[in-house]
Structures are given as C-alpha cells and as structure tokens.
Amino acid sequence: IDGERLTFAYGEYVSDPVDIRFAGDMEPRNLSLKIKHIPEKFALAQNYPNPFNPITSLRYDLPEQAQVTLTIYDLTGREVTQLVNTTQEPGFKSVRWDATDRHGKPASAGVYLYQIRVGEFVQTRKMVLLK
C-alpha cells in the first residue's frame, strides 16, 4: 500500500486523490481528504428572492464541465442580458442579476424569463421584478 494514490467515493461525494505513506509503525501520516459535492444532473433552480427588487440570485447545477449560457429575456422573447457565457467546472453555481440590461440600464418592472443552455440541456423559468 505504501506510495499508493487512492480516491474515495461515497454517494455524490468524491474525494481528490489521496497519497498514502506509512511510517515504520504502520500509522498513516499527513492523511488529508478533500470532499467535493458534485450534482448528479443539470438543473436550474427558481431564483431567490422572487419577486425581487433590485437583486436576485439564480442557481444552477453542473454535473460535468460544460459550456454554459444563462440569458434573461423579456416576455416578448427579446434578450435583455446574458449573465453567463463560458465553460465552467462541475458544481453548484450561482449568479446574481441586478435588474439591468446589457447596457447597464435598469430593466422595467414585470415578468422575465431566464434560460440556461448546457449542450442538449435547456431549461427556462420565470421571475418577477417589482419597482
């Protein structure tokens, strides 16, 4: 076992690789374990708070590294702003929207749609901006 590199998994939790070294007394030394919680599937959560004014948080789950776009639309389908357009590592993600458009101008009160696109996965939800 001396010099081995191990990875531990339990349910959704997966560790970084762990180096194991034994001293003469066979006691492990400097054993550290970092646990990462990785989502099982892609998901887009309801924004919080909702309704909101002036800021809301949008949460989403990435089970694998992927190109992510997260876009805000008005009810006519016009793009208001794009909050995310990048490749991201797996994990539980969050981004804030300050109710401004892509030019930094305040958005009007009303109902907005937010949509995530990750490969074949697309999900859309509604949120309400109060003034």
Encoding tokens for residue 86?
């990048």
The pLDDT tens digits of the residues spanning 65-112 come to 999 999 999 999 999 999 999 999 999 999 999 999 999 999 999 999
Cα gap 73→83, rounded to integer Å: 11
Beta strands, E only, 26-131 = 35-37, 43-44, 56-62, 66-74, 79-88, 91-97, 110-118, 121-129
The domain 43-129 is placed in CATH, from the list 2.20.25.90, 1.10.10.10, 3.40.50.1220, 2.60.40.1930, at 2.60.40.1930
The pLDDT tens digits of the residues spanning 17-30 come to 655 555 555 555 56
CATH 2.60.40.1930: which residues of the chain? Answer: 43-129
Structure confidence at residue 1 as a pLDDT band (50, 70, 90)? very low
**Alpha-carbon distances of 64 from 54, 76, 131, rounded to whole Å:** 32, 32, 38
Buried b (16+ CB within 10 A) or exposed e, 93-102: beeebebeee
